[in-house]
Amino acid sequence: MDKADEFAAWPLTEMNNPRATDIDLRSTREILQLINDEDRGVIDAVAAELEHIAAAVDAIYTRMREGGRLIYVGAGTSGRLGIVDASEMTPTFSVPRELVIGLMAGGEEAMFRSVEGAEDKLELGREDLVRLAVRAQDSVVGIAASGRTPYVIGALQEARARGALTISLACTFPAPIHQMAELYIAPLTGPEVIEGSTRMKAGTATKLVLNMISTTVMIKLGKTYGNLMVDLQPTNQKLRERARRMVERTTALPREEAQALLDRAGDVKTAIVMHHAGIAREAARERLAAAGGSVRRALARE
């Protein structure tokens, strides 16, 4: 392989950014401006993948309605972003912790410090999927900015062998992980300001895509009413106040009456259905259960 072929084989995320070759000679303000200018392209790179993201969301939603799980698999920054997104689903949407899961090469220790060599082993990815007993209803999203992390490839191979939905997310194309997946998402963010530092533009794009996937799936599952997170867990004072404000906004009740209704109902969704349907708490909960937890569908039964 000559030098030209070698560079052509590199993923976009590993190439050198010609606009930043003198970054160490620039002033603080100029460095910040360059980083900001480069970041502007991330939104367009994600926008170019909306059709692929939509296909992934619809496929995940279909499987989650049948009891499937959403599983993110990654290493380094990609793995951490998957874990962060997964960890937010329970407090935001009150889903069980085992419904959306983040797996990372090297395990929990790697969340905070590098575990040398963990991402380079195909078998570790396979073993983590075996340990989770992945099945056909599950959806596995392999995340690797460079598109070639062995741990992620191994996980996708095992997921596919078990009949699970496989989706690849990488900031380059073509890439080995795309070849392992049924669906792919490839926001092309280009070379980083610091060569290979994919915690930057690639990390931002990955965060955006994961937010879009998980949030849209939860909306489709009825975890919101309009744009209100009516399934939140009010585990602190801020969230308790937010819960009361949601009841106020959706019922037009004064603050004290909204709080009293929320206290009787026990949760925001039940309070809204009780008020608009004019029914008692247990009847409201039964209606919500029949509607798959969706306030909108529960009230449509009127």
Q: What is the pTM of this model?
A: 0.91
How much is the pLDDT for 153? Answer: 97
237 CB-near residues (< 8 Å, 6+ apart) = none
Same fold for the pair 46-220 and 237-300 = no
Name the H helices within 66-200. 76-93, 122-131, 150-161, 176-180
Query: Which of 169, 173, 171, 145 has the alpha carbon at shortest distance from 156?
Result: 169
How much is the pLDDT for 116? Answer: 65
Query: Which of 76, 89, 58, 34 has the alpha carbon at shortest distance from 170?
Result: 76
CATH of the domain spanning 46-220: 3.40.50.10490
CA 234 remoteness from chain centre: 22
CATH of the domain spanning 237-300: 1.10.8.1080
How much is the pLDDT for 6? Answer: 38
The DSSP output letter for 38 is: H
Query: Which of 95, 97, 88, 210 has the alpha carbon at shortest distance from 145?
Result: 210
Q: Spell out the per-residue pLDDT of the chain, length 302, in tens.
A: 333 343 346 788 889 999 999 999 999 999 999 999 999 999 999 999 999 999 999 999 999 999 999 999 999 999 999 999 999 999 899 899 999 999 999 887 778 777 667 788 899 999 999 999 999 999 999 999 999 999 999 999 999 999 999 999 999 999 999 999 999 999 999 999 999 999 999 999 999 999 999 999 999 999 999 999 999 888 899 999 999 999 999 999 999 999 999 999 999 999 999 999 999 999 999 999 999 899 999 998 75
How much is the pLDDT for 214? Answer: 98
Domain boundaries, the chain: 46-220, 237-300
**Residues with catalytic function:** 88, 119
Q: Are 65 and 201 in contact (CB under 8 A)?
A: no
